[in-house]
Structure formats: C-alpha cells, structure tokens
C-alpha cells in the first residue's frame, strides 16, 4: 500500500463519530466556547476497551480528531488534561497503540485529515485549507526521498545504484520547495502568526511536554541528517533534530537513530571526488555529485522561502510567540540555511576538480 493510499484510508475513518461535531469546531473557536469544547472532548474519549478494539488506522484517526479539541482548548488557554483528567489515559493508550507520542502530530493534521467537506479545521478559513493541502501534497514525495536515502546509506559513491538513488532523492525533495511556494502564495504570515499558530502550542501530558502539529516535523530534518547534518551540521541543529525525531513516524524514528551517526552523503561524495583519478566509477561519482547539488539547491530554495515567511510571522510587531510551532527560532532557520548553502558550495568545487585524465593509448 502506498503512503497516499494509506493516508486516504485513514482520512475516511471516523471511529469516534465526530464528523458532525467537528464541523462546528471553527464556530466554537471563533466564539471561544470553552465549555462546549470540553463537553465534546469528554464525550468523545474512547474507553480502554474501545482503544484495544480499534485497528491502528482507527487509532490514528481517533487521535487526529481528539487532537483538534486538544489544540483548540490550548489556544483558549485551557489544558484539556486539567479540565478532563481522564483524558490523559485515552491519549496515552492511543499513543501506545500507534507507537507515536500521546497527542496529534503534523501527520494527523495534514496527511490523515480528510479532504473536502469532512476536513478537520480549527478556523475554517481558506488559508488554513491551503496550508494543510501544501503539507499533505509534499509528505508522500518526502517519504519516497527517505526510501531513496536508505539506498544511499547502503551503497558507495561510484556505484550506479548510489547515483540512481541520489537522482531519485533529488527529484522528490523538490516537493518541499513547491509546497513552500504554495504556502507563500496563499497564506499570509500574519494569518499564520495570529490565527493558526496559537493552535499549535505544546501541551503537558503526565508531566512531559509534547509539541503541537508543526510542519517543521515533516522528514526534512531526516533528509538533512542523511545529506549533510550528521557530521557537517551544528550542535544546535542536531539538538533540534533530536527533539523533532520524537514527533515523527515510528519507522522514521528508527532511521533517525541510524542516520544521526556516521558520515553524511556530502562527506562521502566529497571524499570520492577527491580520490585518485581516473578510477572505476568516476562517471557514477560525478552523477551522484550532480544529484546531491540539485538536492541541496532545492533545500536552499525551500529554506529561503521559509525564512522570508518566518521573519514576517515572528516579527516583534506581529508575533505572539518567540519560537516557531516546531520549536525552532528564526535564528536557527538562518543557521540551517547558511549551513545548507555551505555544504552545497563544498560539493560544487569538489566536482569541478574531478576531471578524468586523458589516457595515452599503448603503441
């Protein structure tokens, strides 16, 4: 089953029978009707027996819908777990069944969110739909880029498999740049900062803090680690990646533990380019380097667009919060952009130096 098919399957599910109630959520939020939000959430909480009977996709759909009320209450200054102490157990059980954190994530809010009339929305504003759709569209491509990354880890630069996987990854990673372009075109920084951002606040469950469903938690951080950040990043960014890894899908949490250690693709490709020439596989090394440059260019373009949006959304005259919904600051975004550019520049000159020497035919 493809990731798109799985996403659509989860989107069709309504295990808590909240389709009718959730349509009224934007009006409840507009009115700040905390008692009504509490009543719906309390009535929707599944029992331990219900959670045990749910399939994993049903558990994901249930967490998606409960999370909309969790975020809405937090936006109005109320902890759902203080207002409804028994909610803690339901969220924890759903987290255990899905091997994810005990609250909703960006995947619940976007990929597993139904399209159309059943879409779960905090505000009901068209800009919110555009934001959800941009992320929903790009995550399957990023998932395919991650799969190509598995091959890159297993193969050496100089092999045809490595060059092919690098080209595949570079092709899919452009989805992030396209998504950011759509967001910049259809979502104003002011709308995000003042209307949506308050719904993505972190919450405390059983004394532990969990971040909200931020777009920063899509697997770009994982691809960064693979391509350059495992050994060419900063301590601040690696710390950020460690926090974000907790919010991602179970399979990707395992990859994070693997990809955070060892040489990055950039380091391996640069070493191959700087090796003796001519040698077997030189053409594949150069092809892989070109794919890597394309991937880093796409990431640089994405991060430039993201930084423009973030600077406006978190400008002192606009912002409600110091940090982004994913836990990072504008300063961190500037650092990541600079590091991505630096690593792209390292690959370029190395490739330019690697020109196969002409051989003299034997007489």
Q: Using one digit for the tens of pLDDT, what is the confidence trace for 156-175? A: 998 999 999 999 999 999 99
Q: Which segment of 4-18, 36-50, 319-333, 342-356 scores lowest on mean pLDDT?
A: 319-333
The mean per-residue pLDDT over the stretch 41-69 comes to 98
Phi, psi of 209 (to 5 degrees): -90, 135
- Token pair recorded at residue 242: 């460690």
The mean per-residue pLDDT over the stretch 19-45 comes to 97
**What pLDDT is stored for residue 262 in this prediction?**
85
Q: How confident is the model at residue 130 (pLDDT cuts 50, 70, 90)?
A: very high
The mean per-residue pLDDT over the stretch 1-14 comes to 90
**What pLDDT is stored for residue 214 in this prediction?**
85
Phi, psi of 157 (to 5 degrees): -55, 135
Of residues 65 and 352, which shows the higher confidence score? 65
Mean pLDDT taken over the chain: 90
Cα–Cα distance, 348 to 203 (Å, whole number): 44
The Cβ-side half-sphere exposure at 228, using a 13 Å CA radius, reads 28
Q: Using one digit for the tens of pLDDT, what is the confidence trace for 285-300? A: 999 999 999 999 999 9
How wide is the angle at C-alpha 9 spanned by C-alphas 4 and 11, nearest 5°?
95
Q: Could you tell me what percent of the chain has a pLDDT over 90? A: 77
Query: Is 343 a residue whose pLDDT tops 70?
Result: yes
The gap from C-alpha 181 to its chain's centroid, in whole angstroms, comes to 16
Query: Is 181 a residue whose pLDDT tops 90?
Result: yes
**What pLDDT is stored for residue 164 in this prediction?**
97
Which range of 54-68, 315-329, 332-346 scores highest in mean pLDDT? It is: 54-68
The mean per-residue pLDDT over the stretch 35-54 comes to 98
**What pLDDT is stored for residue 351 in this prediction?**
60
Query: Is 322 a residue whose pLDDT tops 70?
Result: no
The mean per-residue pLDDT over the stretch 243-258 comes to 92
**What pLDDT is stored for residue 326 in this prediction?**
54
**What pLDDT is stored for residue 356 in this prediction?**
46
Q: How confident is the model at residue 308 (pLDDT cuts 50, 70, 90)?
A: confident
- Token pair recorded at residue 343: 């690593």
Query: Is 201 a residue whose pLDDT tops 80?
Result: yes
How wide is the angle at C-alpha 296 spanned by C-alphas 225 and 270, nearest 5°?
75
The mean per-residue pLDDT over the stretch 36-56 comes to 97
Q: Would you say the pTM of this structure is higher than 0.95? A: no
Residues 6 or more apart in contact with residue 250 via CB below 8 angstroms: 98, 99, 100
Query: Is 331 a residue whose pLDDT tops 70?
Result: yes
Contacts made by residues 251-260, CB under 8 angstroms, sequence distance 24+: 252/146, 252/219, 252/222, 255/146, 255/149, 255/150, 255/222, 256/222, 256/225, 258/153, 259/149, 259/153, 259/222, 259/225, 259/226, 259/230, 260/225, 260/230
Helix-helix angle 160-186:126-154, to 10 degrees: 170
Domains and CATH numbers, the chain: 3-104 (1.20.58.1320), 133-353 (1.20.58.480)
């Amino acid at each position: 089953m493809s990731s798109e098919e799985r996403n659509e399957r989860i989107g069709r599910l309504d295990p808590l029978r909240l389709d009718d109630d959730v349509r009224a959520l934007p009006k409840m939020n507009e009115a700040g009707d905390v008692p009504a939000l509490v009543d719906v959430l309390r009535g929707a909480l599944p029992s331990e027996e219900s959670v045990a009977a749910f399939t994993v996709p049903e558990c994901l759909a249930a967490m998606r819908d409960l999370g909309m009320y969790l975020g809405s209450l937090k936006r109005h200054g109320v902890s759902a777990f203080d207002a409804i102490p028994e909610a803690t157990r339901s969220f924890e059980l759903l987290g255990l069944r899905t091997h994810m954190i005990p609250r909703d994530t960006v995947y619940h809010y976007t990929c597993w969110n139904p399209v159309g009339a059943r879409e779960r929305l905090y505000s009901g504003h068209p800009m919110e739909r555009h934001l959800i759709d941009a992320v929903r569209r790009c995550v399957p491509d990023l998932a395919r880029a991650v799969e190509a990354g598995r091959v890159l880890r297993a193969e050496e630069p100089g092999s045809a498999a490595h060059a092919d996987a690098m080209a595949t990854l570079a092709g899919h990673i452009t989805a992030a740049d396209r998504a950011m372009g759509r967001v910049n075109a259809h979502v104003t920084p002011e709308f995000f900062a003042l209307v949506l951002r308050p719904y993505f606040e972190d919450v405390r469950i059983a004394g532990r803090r969990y971040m909200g469903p931020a777009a920063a938690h899509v697997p770009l951080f994982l691809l960064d680690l693979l391509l350059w950040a495992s050994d060419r990043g900063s301590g601040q960014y690696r710390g950020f990646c460690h926090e974000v890894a907790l919010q991602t899908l179970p399979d990707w949490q395992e990859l994070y533990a693997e990809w955070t250690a060892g040489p990055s693709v950039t380091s391996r490709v640069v070493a191959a380019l700087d090796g003796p020439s001519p040698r077997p596989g030189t053409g594949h090394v150069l092809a892989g380097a070109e794919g890597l440059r394309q991937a880093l260019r796409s990431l640089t373009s994405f991060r430039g667009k993201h930084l423009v949006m973030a600077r406006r959304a978190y400008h002192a005259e606009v912002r409600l919060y110091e940090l982004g919904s994913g836990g990072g600051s504008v300063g961190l975004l500037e650092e990541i952009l600079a590091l991505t550019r630096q690593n792209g520049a390292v690959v370029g000159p190395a490739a330019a130096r690697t020109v196969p020497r002409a051989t003299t035919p034997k007489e």
